[in-house]
Amino acid sequence: MWKYILKKLLLAIPVLLGITVIDYAIMSLAGSPLDMLVGPRITEGAIAARAAKWGLNQPIWVQYWNWLVEVLHGNLGYSYKSYQPVAELIGSHVGPTLLLMGVSMALGLLIAVPAGIYSAVHRYQKRDYAVVSASFLFSSIPGFFLALLMIYLFTVVLGWLPSSGMITPGVGGGALDVARHLVMPALVLALGVAGGNIRYIRSSVLEILEMDYLRTATAKGLGRGLVIRRHAFRNALLPIVTVIGMQIPTLFGGAVIVEQLFSWPGLGLITMTAVTGRDYPVIMGVCLLSAVVVLASNLLTDILYALVDPTIKY
């Protein structure tokens, strides 16, 4: 087992390096941050000095190498805009994003797992079609449109929920206040998660329901509920574990847009600002973080899979 984990870890390192290389290349192609400085108020000498200070006068591969060496020394660099250390910037924004993603994932699975199982158990009945249609609908609504509809309904018409930020300024604080701000963005993301996964869980439960051991369980006279709860559900857990792993990059992507719409003070918000402002160190920091998270969740999925399913060889 340990050998397996070690092997997977070692395999992840070149992938991670590859991702950062692609990141750096794409980012540099996108345009130099120096272009943003050009204007009537700045001299060429000042720009050249800035270029030298940021190391942008060197070839791209040298820049990348310098960045990599710094990262290996634990230094993610400083933001070009706010001059804050990138690690500090990310650290202060990672909490809200984790909260948003965690709540959305939990909520999404809480909808998707029972709905998927229900749908599979009542296969080809009206109820099954209703659930599957609903899941298609959930995954077909653009998140931002759902967000607009919700803001319209809950903020404008009903006035129940605040539409932006994480705490009410002035009054702010308290878990209840944060929860009220969290409802809409989390619901938008959760419905997206549920939409895609209901059908996935349905089909994996269906596959299991056709297994011989379930026929045996039914044949020996166990009640339907017991068969599903004790025999089918346990085996259906396996594909559900995979779903969670697959969901993380998608969820992060969704969070970028949702955070933008609801002014949720998370990583998505600083990412958007960094991308439009060509703030290289911040972009690279966020990319590195997200790549690590994604690879780590892939690894965790593999390990969980190997633990849960004894037939997997490693």
Among 5, 19, 47, 238, binds other proteins (CB under 8 A): 19
Evaluate whether 162 touches 181 at the Cβ level (below 8 Å).
Answer: yes
User: Interface with other proteins includes 141 (CB under 8 A)?
Assistant: yes
User: Interface with other proteins includes 250 (CB under 8 A)?
Assistant: yes
Among 142, 173, 174, 223, binds other proteins (CB under 8 A): 142
Q: Nearest-CA neighbor of 272 among 35, 85, 93?
A: 93
Name the helix (H) or strand (E) containing 263. Answer: none
Span 24-63, contacts to other proteins by CB under 8 A: 26-27, 29-31
- Joined together, the tokens standing for residue 164 give 């932006």
Interacting stretch for other proteins, rule CB under 8 A, among 58-66, 175-183, 222-230, 256-264? 256-264
Q: Is 193 exposed, middle or buried (0-12, 13-18, 19+ CB in 10 A)?
A: buried
Among 104, 119, 235, 271, binds other proteins (CB under 8 A): 271
What is the pattern of x (binds other proteins, CB under 8 A) and - over residues 276-295? x-x----x--xx--xx--xx
Q: Is 163 exposed, middle or buried (0-12, 13-18, 19+ CB in 10 A)?
A: middle
Q: Nearest-CA neighbor of 259 among 168, 160, 212, 251?
A: 251
User: Interface with other proteins includes 18 (CB under 8 A)?
Assistant: yes
Between 206 and 238, name the residue whose CB sits nearer to other proteins.
206
CA distances 99 to 179, 260, 265, Å, are: 10, 16, 11
Q: Which residues bind other proteins (CB under 8 A)?
A: 14-15, 18-19, 22-23, 26-27, 29-31, 129, 133, 136-137, 139-145, 148-149, 151-152, 156, 249-250, 252-254, 256-257, 260, 271-272, 275-276, 278, 283, 286-287, 290-291, 294-295, 298
